[in-house]
Structure formats: C-alpha cells, structure tokens
Structure 1
Amino acid sequence: MASSRSRDFAEEDLDETTVPLPEMMFAEGEEPVGVRVLTYQSSRALNTILEALDEDEIESLKRTSFGKLVEISEKPAFSGRFARYLLSRQLKVEKKHEAWFRFAGKPIRFSLWEFAIVTGLPCGEFPKKSKLKKKKNMKEKPYWPELFGRVEEMRVSRAVKMLRRKTVINKDLRMKLACLAIVSSVLLCTNLRMKMLKEHAELLVDMEEFFSFPWGRLAFDMLMTTLKGFALALQLVIVEAVPSLTEVVQEADSSSESESDEGDGDRLPRKTKKQTLSPAHAREVGRKAQALVTSILPVDPARSGVDCLVNWSDDHYKKGGYCD
C-alpha cells in the first residue's frame, strides 16, 4: 500500500465534499484485473485456533489484549475479491505510515490509529531493553525447550493439533501455545505453513509482558510494508467506516478467494461455511455515493481499550490528515 506526504486537515473538514482529494492510484476502468493479493491471509486461521480451545480458555483469552480477536473471529471472513476492489480505490499518497481509499466519493484512512481501534491490540512503542536486562538474559536458559523440549522447529498446525487432541493439558501451557499460534499464523503470517519463532516464545516467560508487547504495531508495520500479515484489519477498518457494506454477505468460496486455506493438511475441516463481504454490493454502494462514510475512526471507550492507543511518538496518528 502506498503512503503520503501530508498536510493536516481537521477531522470535520474531511466530511466536506469541497475538500480536494488526491488522485486515484488507478484511473476509472484501468483497475488491475485478476491480480491475486494478500495471498497469505487465511480466513480460517484464527477460528481453527479458537476451535481447539475449551470455553474457559476462550473466556480467559477475552480478558487479555487479544480479547478483541475473539470477537473478530465471528465477523465476515477476509475476502480477497473485496481486497482487490478496495486496493483499486487507493489514493496516491506518500506518507509511510498510512494509506487512504476513496469510497462513495469520500476518503477513508487506514493508519495505526484505525488498526488499533479495530483489533484492540497494543500499538505503543517497542520496549527498549536495558543493558542490565540484556546481561541477565544472556545467563538465562532459553524458554523454547520449556515449551517444546528438544523439538527445534514447530509449525502452527502441529501446535494446534496438540491443543485440539489435548496432548497438552496444562492450562497455562495451552494458553501460551494458543497465543504463540495467533501471533505466528494470524498477526504475522507470511505463508500458509507458518512456523513459530523462538524469539516470540521467549516473551511467554512473563505473560503480562507478552500481552503488553506492541503486537499491533508490529503487525501493522508488516502489513504496510509487505502486504502480508493481518490483512483482515484493512477490511475491518473499511467496514467500520462504511457499516452498510455488511448489509449483503455471501458464502466464502476458497477456490476463488486469495485467502485459500489449501496447503495445510493438519487443519480442521470447516464446521460451517464462512460469510464474506460482497464485492458486487460494495461496488453498488460506492457507485451510489449515498452511504454514511467515516473518514477517520473515532475511539469508542466502550468498544476499544484506550491502552493500545497511548504513548505514540508520531502525532499524526492522533490528528489525521492526508496529502493533496
């Protein structure tokens, strides 16, 4: 996704049709056709992990910074077709940390601010390890063997199978495996056969430290720079900005979606067909230009924890604005 050199606008100005918008990335009628995008986003990865957990374990997860992900699992699945349509509506901007899209004649911003709101993940600054802590860590034994013994490589699919078959029964350990699987195959996924990383496992020594780590900022940076990772967040932001998009949904067809679940024989069979957004309905809503559109998502304390939105060094995340 492109990003933008920016002059700032007041949020109320963004609702005015008199504000000139940047040019579109693609001219009308010249949008790319048949291009597969965001190929590593699996619509089933999160659900597969949650289905392997007990109800009490899911309730425990809801009380952490990953809690909103449980809610997300019940929403329409990621649609590759909708993503292709959305990217064809992107505006020419240069700012590194945000993208803008034109929908129904109005701009919609996708930045760390919006990402934090829809995911509920911590998005603050990355922690800086003190020299004292680094020296201490050098003397500590790696935590990976505590989780997986002598196994040097662990795929997410194998860990989920362990959870599903109750190979692991210790509740604390099950929670750690589930969280590591979510980080690896949902937030930071780069392929369909993700492996768990030892550096992420080290954070599980202290679960409070693990849940406070800015996974949101890490996932957002990956998405903006590589178009890999938690691509569903982009769809979530657009749906929050244009609620009428959910008025029409359709059954997912993995054979025609870029989020295909093929390639992992360890995954559970689908219990129910997932619902996805309808690209045709989105085009119709956009063409009529009558939909309610929120250019910059407001923070609703009742729905999004403010902890994930504080201590950001870049003030434009809070103010908003785009480049003309």
Structure 2
Amino acid sequence: MNDGEEDDDQDPISSSLPMQPEKLFFNPTEFGKACKIVTRYSVTSVVQKIEAMPEEAKWFKTHPQFRHIFHMPKERNHMSQGLWMLLLYTAKTGKESECWFVVNGVPIRYSLREHALLCGLDCHEYPRKYKDLGCWSFVERQFGRKKAITVKDVEERLEAMETSEDKKKMAVLFFLSKVVKAGTKANGNIESFLLRVVNDLRLCKKFPWGDTRMIIASRRYSV
C-alpha cells in the first residue's frame, strides 16, 4: 500500500465490529413466537409478610446479603418481555460456566461475576460437605419430623408463632424456600439442606447464597 493511500479492500466499519458467534440457539423464524416465563419466586409477598414482623424483619435488614432485598423498590408486576428478547439472542459457545447474548452485534456475557453484581449475594465457593451443615433439632421441634415439610407448612406455622428465636428461624426458612431457592410449589417438599441450615442463624449469615446451584432449578421456560 502506498503512503497516504487506503486499502480499497479494507472496510473500516466492518473491521471494527465484534466477532459474530457461529450459531444462535434460536433461528430467526422462531423470533415471532410467544413465550411464557414462569418463576416460583415470590419476593414482594414474602418481603411484605416478613416486614409485618418487626423483630424478624430486623434480622433480615441487617443481613449482609439479604438486606438489599428489603430496601428495593416494590414492583407489583415484573415484565418479562425484555428477558425473552434477550434469550432469543443466546449464542452457542460451548461454555458451561457463562452465557453469551448477541444484541445489535455486541456480545454480552453473563457469568457468575455478573450474577454477583446483579443479585448482591455472595457467590464464592460452597464450603466442603455443605449439605451436612446445620442439624435437625429446629425442624424436629417444630414439625415433629424431618421429611415431607412443605412451604405451606412453614407459612402456616410462621403465622401462628409468637415472637421468639424459633419464629426468626421459621421466617428464614420461609424466605429461603420462597426467595433464594424457590424450587418447589407451595405443596412441594423443602430440600433437606434448607431444613438443616436454619438451625444455625450465624451460618445463614455467612453462607454463599448466590451460588448458581441455589437458583438453577428455580426457573422454568416454555414456548
């Protein structure tokens, strides 16, 4: 190329664009389809119920990971159309630990780092043998059993209790099973780890609740 001359074969606009993915999960022919996004999380109703219990609410509002949830603006309805439009542009990358979207030709990454920034929860590695943490004493004392305890059981028991340390633990169990890991319906059984961990409220404050293993089974998408 001569000095002061541009290469006619070089397109300055196209050369500045980011690299495009080889393939998207959805074909353009599917972009017009309707989508129903269902979540089992009940953040607003759970927060309102706990805020009606001053002593229990105080614990949440000083919790290093949960307190921001009690200070967020209350939204009656969360619109999901924007999420669906983003999902349509999910790129196939072969990476299991992060998700990539391509919007207007710009790649956007969503990994554990972005998840931590958005949710405000601790997302560091789980403790070793974390499923063995805690114990059954609280659950056995309140329900007389270890298994077949549902979210509905917890909610009904919480509403009937007087202010106490056990009521605080019941509120934490209700919050964990309806907000942090809402993996079951009201009549579905709560997983054993949540039933055990609430026996130790100090552990509930330092546990990394933002890890994706807590939330991966809590959403369902259907087209």
With the shorter chain as reference, the TM-score category is 0.7 to 0.9
Task: Determine which structure has more spread, i.e. the larger CA radius of gyration.
Answer: 2
Residues 69-84 of structure 1 aligned to structure 2 (within 5 Å): 69-72=69-72, 74-75=74-75, 77-84=77-84
C-alpha distance in 1 between matches for 2:148 and 2:189: 7
Length-normalised TM-score, structure 2: 0.73
C-alpha distance in 2 between matches for 1:107 and 1:76: 32
Aligned match for 1:173, one of 166, 185, 191: 166
Q: RCO higher in 1 or 2 (8 Å CA, sep ≥ 6)? A: 1
- Following superposition, which runs of at least 4 residues in structure 1 exceed 6 angstroms of deviation? none
C-alpha distance in 2 between matches for 1:85 and 1:93: 19
Show the counterpart of 1:263: none
Aligned match for 2:149, one of 146, 151, 154: 154
Show the counterpart of 2:208: 214
**What SS class does the counterpart of residue 147 from structure 1 fall into?**
helix
Show the counterpart of 1:21: 20
Show the counterpart of 1:50: 47
Q: Verify the 8 A CA contact 1:100 1:108 in the aligned structure 2.
A: yes
Q: Verify the 8 A CA contact 1:24 1:92 in the aligned structure 2.
A: yes
Q: Verify the 8 A CA contact 1:24 1:89 in the aligned structure 2.
A: yes
C-alpha distance in 1 between matches for 2:138 and 2:58: 26
* C-alpha RMSD of matched pairs (Å): 3.3
Show the counterpart of 2:4: none
| Shift of residue 128, structure 1, vs aligned partner | 1.4
Q: 1:203 is matched by which residue type in structure 2? A: V
Judged with a 3 Å threshold, the aligned counterparts in structure 2 of structure 1 residues 32 and 185 are, in CA distance, closer, same or farther, namely farther
Q: Verify the 8 A CA contact 2:66 2:121 in the aligned structure 1.
A: yes
Aligned match for 1:188, one of 181, 184, 187: 181
Residues 121-160 of structure 1 aligned to structure 2 (within 5 Å): 121-129=121-129, 142-150=137-145, 152-160=147-155
C-alpha distance in 1 between matches for 2:16 and 2:175: 41
Show the counterpart of 2:59: 60
C-alpha distance in 2 between matches for 1:17 and 1:173: 60
| Shift of residue 145, structure 1, vs aligned partner | 0.7
1:43-86 residue CA offsets vs partner (Å, 9 max, x unmatched): 6x122222222244323202112222224572574444433322
| Shift of residue 95, structure 1, vs aligned partner | 0.9
C-alpha distance in 2 between matches for 1:141 and 1:159: 15
C-alpha distance in 1 between matches for 2:83 and 2:151: 25
| Shift of residue 203, structure 1, vs aligned partner | 1.4
Show the counterpart of 1:204: 198
Q: 1:83 is matched by which residue type in structure 2? A: L
Q: Structure 2: state its 5+ residue gaps.
A: 1-14
C-alpha distance in 1 between matches for 2:16 and 2:55: 49
Q: Percent of aligned positions with the same letter in both sequences?
A: 22
| Shift of residue 154, structure 1, vs aligned partner | 2.6
Length-normalised TM-score, structure 1: 0.53
**What SS class does the counterpart of residue 36 from structure 2 fall into?**
coil
Deviates more, 1:191-200 or 1:202-211: 191-200
C-alpha distance in 2 between matches for 1:184 and 1:155: 9
Deviates more, 1:172-181 or 1:187-196: 187-196
Judged with a 3 Å threshold, the aligned counterparts in structure 2 of structure 1 residues 179 and 230 are, in CA distance, closer, same or farther, namely farther
Judged with a 3 Å threshold, the aligned counterparts in structure 2 of structure 1 residues 102 and 153 are, in CA distance, closer, same or farther, namely same
Q: 1:208 is matched by which residue type in structure 2? A: R
Deviates more, 1:182-191 or 1:117-126: 182-191
C-alpha distance in 1 between matches for 2:164 and 2:120: 24
| Shift of residue 99, structure 1, vs aligned partner | 0.7
